[in-house]
Amino acid sequence: MVDITTLNGAYALLVVEIIQLCLFVAVLGVVSIVSVTAMRIVAGALLIADVVALYFMVAFGILLNQEMIANILNTDNGEVSALIDWKIFAWGTILGIMPAFWFLRIKITPTTVWRRLLIAPVALGVLAAVLALSPKTTNWIDKNGLDLGGRILPWSYVANTVRYFDQDHARYMRDQVQLPDPTVTPTGAGLVVLVIGESARPQSFAFYGYDRDTNPNTRATGYRALPTSDACATATIGGVACILSRRGRDERQGVPEEPLPSYLTRQGIKTIVHSNNTGLPRLRVNAALVGSQLAEICTQDFCAERFDHSCVSGICDDIFPDGVLLSGVGDIAHSALTQPTLLVLHMGGSHGPNYFQKYPQKYAAFDPVCTDKFVSRCDTEQLKNAYDNTIVYTDAVLGELAHALGGVAGLKATVLYTSDHGESLGEDGYYAHAAPVASAPAYQLQVPFLVWQSDAARQAIVNAGVAAQHAIFHTVLGQFGLTQGGVYRAENDIFAAPN
């Protein structure tokens, strides 16, 4: 981004640091007007938060941009436990808590309120002067604002948390506009299963030319692979919203609308959600079950499989492999013989950094694997082995799903699989996901698109070039015959010839 070994690069870094210092002084100056004690507390809290944030930025090669804040605020105990080990406590104590405690004990002689009133204006004045005297550097900062905004502490997590609640949370968790109803009712019975993967990148799928056989089960059960496409986001909440939107990748170009499951529920279609993840928008469905609830209704060996670990770093939780999502699928399939049904399976998938803990060990096709959550220290091949094993396990879940549905005589069933976004494994220095979409590498943006159909439902794919995010909504409507009026678009239905 900038070469700090050159004079210009070093000067640019100096300007960025001055900006950071001036903003920090301005904020503390404002707080000091209320109370010097309050200023101490705020400074200490920000120091500890900065140290924790810096740990994750260094450990996982991430930026604290809006996408990453969305990930953090939509995680669960299982994902949190995967990120925590003794290093973060040592790092936080030595670099954060101890200095903050020392700072709180320093004796500060308060000046008059009038002098404290001048701190913020003076700091902002210095900031304005520095920017005015550095037009080239200011221009560089402006061009790289998104990247810098995810790196500079504490402004990265403070500003992007505000943006998240103002934009993402407000968009996906509040009122949604109802879509126009179709002029027809669902035709016949049948089952559509929408499987939403997590952090699954097509570069690690044998279907797309990968030199490892990561797709033995889906290939054997008759899945068809459609071309890859780019996700609209590199975080779960945004990526899933596009998959479930009738606007697809253009989901954010307009007011928030009801997602696919909610729309189908209003049309009289039975809608069920099985989730082993977080980040779904607000849904109105007939039933929604999570891992612990699904485990209670599991009656098959596959959904009863468990991880070899249950507690990590002192945090214990009901953490289940994605096989638990298939609990009750047989009953749902038989019910769909007489009632049109949508089943959404939201996978935990390949979310890192603990890839080695995201599959039962019997599915470890590649070894040795990296078991260090500090993934930037992992051997490249061992990191890929761990990640590829998660793809092999996802493939096993999809294969088992096809077996279960194919065993129900006469059932018209369609399975659509794609992922919320991809994943980086160290390529070009990137790890995990949540890079800014405008500059994200292909590994984080590209997603797979697989299709399976039972014999009773099998159709030719005549519109294979549609991006998964554009295709899902309209292909599902087509399977239920909701093709007249409403919002259906034939050109986005993979089974319908464009008008």
In which band, very low, low, confident or very high, does the pLDDT at 418 lie, cut at 50, 70 and 90?
Answer: very high
pLDDT of residue 169: 60
Give 447-483 pLDDT, tens digit per residue.
999 999 999 999 999 999 999 999 999 999 999 999 9
Predicted pLDDT at 324: 95
CATH number at residue 288: 3.40.720.10
Higher pLDDT, 177 or 15: 177
> Which one is predicted more confidently, 442 or 439?
442
- Let me know whether 304 and 417 are in one domain: yes
Count structural domains, the chain. Answer: 2
Residue 283 sits in the same domain as residue 400: yes
Tens of pLDDT, residues 164-208: 776 666 666 667 889 999 999 998 889 999 999 999 999 999 999
Q: Residue 316: its pLDDT value, please?
A: 45
Q: Are residues 146 and 252 in the same domain?
A: no
201 vs 497, more confident: 201
Quote the mean pLDDT of the chain: 86
Most confident region among 15-29, 109-123, 484-498 by mean pLDDT: 484-498
Asked whether residue 337 is assigned to any structural domain, the reply reads yes
Q: Which residues contact 370 (CB under 8 A, 6 or more apart)?
A: 355, 356, 378, 379, 382, 383, 385, 386
> Maximum Cα–Cα distance for the chain, whole Å?
84
Q: Helix %, strand %, coil % for the chain, to 5?
A: 50, 10, 40
Q: Which of 84-88, 95-99, 131-135, 442-446 has the lowest mean pLDDT?
A: 84-88
Pair (348, 215) in one structural domain: yes
Give domain status of residue 207, yes or no.
yes
Q: Which long-range contacts (CB under 8 A, 24 or more apart) does 370-377 make?
A: 373/59, 373/82, 373/83, 373/85, 374/59, 374/60, 374/87, 375/59, 375/60, 375/61, 375/425, 375/426, 375/431, 375/432, 376/58, 376/59, 376/60, 376/61, 376/426, 376/431
pLDDT tens digits, 302-326: 988 887 655 455 444 567 899 999 9
Q: Give residues with Cβ within 8 angstroms of 247, minimum separation 6.
A: 253, 254, 257
Domain boundary among 132, 166, 200: 166
Same domain for 150 and 195: no
Q: What is the pLDDT of residue 128?
A: 87
Per-residue pLDDT, 80: 58
For the chain, percent of residues with pLDDT exceeding 90: 47
**Is 389 found in the same domain as 311?**
yes
Residue 485 predicted with pLDDT over 60: yes
Q: Residue 53: pLDDT above 50?
A: yes
Residue 360, pLDDT score? 93
Residue 268: inside a domain = yes
Q: What is the pTM of this model?
A: 0.80
Residue 3 has pLDDT above 60, yes or no: no
- The answer to the question of residue 171 being in a domain is no
Residue 31 lies in a domain: yes
Residue 119 lies in a domain: yes
Lowest mean pLDDT of 14-23, 178-187, 487-496, name the range. Answer: 14-23
Predicted pLDDT of residue 146: 58
What's residue 468's pLDDT?
A: 96
Containing 385, the helix (H) or strand (E) segment is helix 380-406
Least confident piece of the model among 219-223, 230-234, 370-374: 370-374
Residue 94: domain span: 7-166
Domain-ending residue, one of 166, 194, 222: 166
Nearest-CA neighbor of 376 among 353, 355, 351? 353
The model's pLDDT over 342-381, given as tens digits with 9 standing for 90+, comes to 999 999 999 988 899 899 999 999 999 999 877 888 899 9
Residue predicted with more confidence, 191 or 71: 191
Q: Has residue 13 been placed in a domain?
A: yes
Residue that is last in its domain, among 111, 135, 166: 166
Task: Kindly state whether residues 143 and 191 are assigned to the same domain.
Answer: no
187 and 88 fall within a common domain: no
- Residue 456 is predicted with a pLDDT of 94
